[in-house]
Structure 1
Amino acid sequence: MDQRMAKHSPRARDVNHSNVLQREHRAVEEGTGSAVTRDFYCHRCSCKVTEYAHADGRAEELADVALYLCRTCAAEAQRKGTETVGEYRILQRLGRGGISVVYKAWHAPTCRLVALKKVVPESSSREGAEEVFQKEVKVMQTLIHPHIVRLIDYRMVEKPYYLVYEYLPNGDLYTYVQKHTVSVTDICRIFCQVLEGLEYMHRKGIVHRDVKPHNILLTLDKKAKLGDFSCVKNLHEDGILKGDHGGLPFLTPEEILNHDYVKSSTDVYAVGVSLYYILTDTFPFHFASPEEIIKAFLIKKKPKDPIDMVLQHKKELESELRRVIGNSILREDRILIQSYRKDIPATLAAIIDKSVAKNEENRFKSAQEMREALVLYLTDECASMKRS
């Protein structure tokens, strides 16, 4: 076994990354003394699972993030022919990205509910897929914060490669607001938490690069946690992975012009676009929809079989989509948020419009600056409500 493999062997992996996570956990929880043994309960039926929760010795370390499912409830949740990945049993598919798929899973020894991110079979042999996962692991081992999703486990020695994160039952912010009514004030509080997580990351020289509503996850009590670090960049390291940008509409004009442009302020811009999008269900600039782009493409090609043409020219269509959206980000004037939402208070509208400004010099320079502006707005809003 070579030195690299020995370092990442299952036994060494569990010990090493557990130690790192525990050290970071103690560092952020100031004033904690010796660990206190507590009871843990099933997330669904509330029966006690304490004995199982302590099986791997990490129950206290993960007490603030772990959810549990007793064996009876887990058996009911599992479908016939349930896939097993290591010690984890797949319960439900949650989503898919470029090289990975995310599942809700159950850790049999501890009864812990988790989100398991696995490299999809067609990507596991692709150049760079392993490197992306390795990079994510390396960064996530250093990030322990209340508003950043917690890495719990991983396997990078043998296929299938996977990462294991805490499970967030309320899902992503975009899907949540489609199903529930959330006040403007609560939305702003959520984004303050996202910015707080980014402040922590940026102080460490780490840029997320894929901030968007689908990557803002919600805990049981609706606290925000930033997730999906597959595009993450450590500014203290040299080099950059190809194709590790996030969603195109959330990129700054600077990133459109220069793919290698990386600054912490680009995350802040993405937060602004995300906040704008959550409040309006649209972007702060006009661009043709994917359907319109495909229609124009087909009119130009005049194919006999449109469906076959789309399938055969998928990459060309994706390139055209990037070109159209990119040009809109670069050329289109920003649409003031009150054009869509006249009920948005002027103070808040000014914060949002500043955060998505086309010119970098007119935007917030840091996550802290934008968060402080939102906190001041929320403070004044609260005081105003009390007076009335």
Structure 2
Amino acid sequence: MATASVILTVTHGPLDGRSFRFDERTTAFLGRARDCNPQLPDDDDHRTVSRHHCLLDINPPDVRIRDFGSLNGTYLNGARIGRRDRGESVEQAAARAFPEHDIKDGDEIRLGDTVFRVGIDRSRPEKTKVVPRCVHCGADVGGEIGDRDGEYVCAECRSDPDQLARDYIAGSWRAGRYEIVKLLGEGGMGRVYLARDLGTGELVALKMMLPEVAADPHARAQFMREISVSQSLEHPNIARIRDADSYAGVFFFTSEYCAGGSLAARYRKQPVPVDEAVPLILQALAGLEFAHGQGVVHRDLTPHNILLAADGTLKLADFGLAKAFDQAGLSGLTRTGTAAGKPFFMSYPQAINYRYVGPEVDVWSLAACLYHLLTGLYPRDFDGDRDPWQVVLETAAVPLLSRRPDVPRQLALVIDTALRDKPAIGYPTAAEFRNALLLKGV
């Protein structure tokens, strides 16, 4: 059961009285386009509203809004929060970064003549408020977490994550079982360490994840439930999660250590020969097909979490971590602004239907990874400061041969088909994409 909901109620305009309820972590686009939710009518009364007018990042009970450089602007409580200048083109406006604004219960959003009132339903009884404290040092963190309940690590403790990891491993989480050897890397969700299992002597990858919001019991339970499914995945091309737990606001996971590192680190945006790139993706597709057969969708495939073992075997890592962490609401409001929220390897269906994506979005992302290996570039043109979400909504992948003419034509056509995502993704299953590559690409 959700612990909070965000409700948008139309209080003025042709849709007066209609309500839109969001119970889970999601991204909502407002405008006249058919892929918007809420969608405003495409009629004379709404000509002042852009097709993709603004973006709502929703993580109940938190909400954030950003205008997309619309002609007539978005208004929050009567104040304009974004609008392109008169005479400024859509392209010029898209190259500007419009600020994001947090939304509170009772706030009003106006697009043209339509007004939405924001309601936040916490769906839980009132209780005596206590001063929220950092579960690591005990400092008051009320200003950091607002009205949220749950365990939280303060900003000062977060500033030294290595010490935080050592403290938890030594004293709290699986006490005495692991020791940290060195830092392997860090990303949008946390830090990854090389660690040693003191019982077996085996080297493992240990990931520490700190929620951006207070982790209440419901969110922790939802997250760990999802991870238990991912732990069951046993396949040569999947880096299995060995151990997982949460304690005092921190989540830890261990998985097999892949000494060859990630594809992103190995190739560093340098074009890779066809006869090297395609076999790597074929291995990835084998792992992907198995996971999908078990009902698990990755939803965050990038070259950073596709790893190589010491013997060259490719391993898909972090299966289910990003999806579970985000859907449980633990990642905070990250999809609109930070690097972790930029959809460089995300398909159009995933952008507009974030909560209900299926296996086909992983196939698209893996095709995007192959494109990136072959060209050193992203499939779409994420040029300058243009809003990346608008790029996904409004542009298609650049044909492969226009960026790398020496790729065999039949292979390029297969990859271009895989990266088609309107009205549907070109290859809906990993098996179909894999078979097409085997027929035309190897």
Q: Into which bin does the TM-score normalised by the smaller protein fall?
A: 0.5 to 0.7
The change in CA–CA distance for 1:131 and 1:248 in structure 2 (over 3 A counts) is: farther
Q: Distance in 1 between matches of 2:330 and 2:250?
A: 22
TM-score (normalised: structure 2):
0.54
CA RMSD for the aligned pairs?
3.1
CA contact (8 A) 2:182 2:193 kept: yes
The change in CA–CA distance for 1:343 and 1:243 in structure 2 (over 3 A counts) is: farther
Per the TM alignment, residue 191 of structure 1 is displaced from its structure 2 partner at its CA by 0.5
Instruction: Determine which of 118, 141, 152 is the counterpart of 2:242.
Output: 152
The match for 1:94 is 184
Per the TM alignment, residue 347 of structure 1 is displaced from its structure 2 partner at its CA by 1.2
Instruction: Determine which of 323, 326, 333 is the counterpart of 2:396.
Output: 333
Query: Does the residue aligned with 1:156 lie in a helix, a strand or coil?
Result: strand
CA contact (8 A) 2:271 2:373 kept: no
Q: 1:28-81 CA distances to partner (integer Å, 9 max, x unpaired)?
A: xxxxxxxxxxxxxxxxxxxxxxxxxxxxxxxxxxxxxxxxxxxxxxxxxxx99x
Q: Tell me whether 1:252 sits opposite 2:347 in the alignment.
A: yes
Instruction: Determine which of 403, 406, 409 is the counterpart of 1:343.
Output: 406
Q: 1:246-292 CA distances to partner (integer Å, 9 max, x unpaired)?
A: 75122221222232231110110111111111111112222333xx3
The change in CA–CA distance for 1:273 and 1:131 in structure 2 (over 3 A counts) is: farther
- Which 5+ residue runs of structure 2 have no aligned equivalent? 1-161, 170-174, 336-340
Instruction: Determine which of 208, 221, 231 is the counterpart of 2:322.
Output: 231
Q: Distance in 2 between matches of 1:197 and 1:357?
A: 22
The match for 1:53 is none
Per the TM alignment, residue 212 of structure 1 is displaced from its structure 2 partner at its CA by 1.0
Q: Tell me whether 1:241 sits opposite 2:324 in the alignment.
A: no
Structure that is richer in helix per residue: 1
The change in CA–CA distance for 1:102 and 1:249 in structure 2 (over 3 A counts) is: same
Query: Does the residue aligned with 2:357 lie in a helix, a strand or coil?
Result: coil
Query: Does the residue aligned with 1:83 lie in a helix, a strand or coil?
Result: helix
The match for 2:27 is none
Segment drifting more, 255-264 vs 222-231: 255-264
Q: Distance in 2 between matches of 1:167 and 1:136?
A: 22
Q: 1:140-181 CA distances to partner (integer Å, 9 max, x unpaired)?
A: 222011111022223335665311100000111111123998
The match for 2:288 is 198
Identity %: 32
- Which 5+ residue runs of structure 1 have no aligned equivalent? 1-78, 234-238, 294-323, 382-388
Structure that is richer in strand per residue: 2
How many equivalent pairs are there? 263
The change in CA–CA distance for 1:333 and 1:158 in structure 2 (over 3 A counts) is: closer
TM-score (normalised: structure 1):
0.61
List, as ranges, runs of 4+ consecutive aligned residues in structure 1 with deviation greater than 6 Å. 243-246
Query: Does the residue aligned with 1:260 lie in a helix, a strand or coil?
Result: helix
The change in CA–CA distance for 1:180 and 1:167 in structure 2 (over 3 A counts) is: farther
Q: Distance in 2 between matches of 1:224 and 1:129?
A: 32
CA contact (8 A) 1:347 1:377 kept: yes
Within 5 Å, which residues of 2 pair with 1:108-257? 108-120=198-210, 123=212, 125-127=214-216, 130-131=220-221, 133-156=223-246, 160-178=250-268, 182-229=272-319, 230-232=321-323, 240-242=327-329, 248-257=343-352
Instruction: Determine which of 428, 432, 436 is the counterpart of 1:369.
Output: 432
